[in-house]
Amino acid sequence: MAFPAVSLSGRRVLVSGAGRGLGRAFAEACAEAGARVILCDLDAAAAEAAAAELRAAGHEAAALPVDIGEPDSIAALAAAVRERFGTLHGLLNNAAIATGIGGKTFDEIDIETWDRVFRVNVRGTWLMVKHLAPLMADGGAIVNLASDTALWGAPRLLHYVGSKGAVIAMTRSLARELGPRGIAVNCIAPGLVRVWATEYVPKERHDLYEQGRAIPRAQYPEDVTGAAVFLLSPAAAFVTGQMLPVNGGFVFG
């Protein structure tokens, strides 16, 4: 019996929030695994720069703009993907609001910020799946980015924690709805990753993670990308509806 390799060769994968940080690392890892990558970002210039670097390294990569907080922008992205590329094999929903919103207690969060976080992190993830899943063939895979903050109940971050808890719940429901189409849907819950978006996080929170992990060290993008590549690959074709914590054992799933 032949077992599928952890390879994305011949597969086209779209990564949102791919202009920099963890999203860019995901796009690079997918390309190195053989995927033809579409990098999407609110910052179109950053996405194009990242795609150009991948092309210079010999990979097939394209960039498209998207604001996942705006339904029309997501619809336009899907139309562009359909027109230029036709079929998708993988979707990695990485884009989210995470920077600069922490530090407030539940009763200090203003309604405008709460709604903005849920508009992007929850509604945006749903709409990306709604518009792009129809472009996916049997054997496709969707990976949503959650967060381990939703697993341990991180304080002073309720809006973000709530949004990522919703992503976990949606992943399970989407897995059941898309399973009959042959599409697997899973999510990854990283810990606090050392990227530009977490530079604002207080040292105390970084120390809490880095000293409290079963593997007691900082977490970097390359610690997360392997799990995403696996879940996007044919090797994980029969894995769906699962939430995988990738956090060095800070919390166990």
Torsion of CA 226, 29, 237, 185, to 10 degrees: 90
Q: Which amino acid is at 75?
A: A
Quote the CA–CA distance of 127 and 120 in Å, as a whole number.
10
104 closest CA partner among 115, 119, 114: 114
Residues whose CB is less than 8 angstroms from the CB of residue 9 and which lie 6 or more positions away in sequence, other chains included: 33, 34, 35
How is 108-157 classified by DSSP, letter by letter? T--HHHHHHHHIIIIIHHHHHHHHHGGGEEEEEEEEEE--THHHHT-SS-
- Residues in the chain, overall count: 253
Give burial (CB, 10 Å; 0-12/13-18/19+) of 153: exposed
Quote the CA–CA distance of 179 and 119 in Å, as a whole number.
26
* CA R_g for the chain: 17
Task: Give me the active site residues, please.
Answer: 160
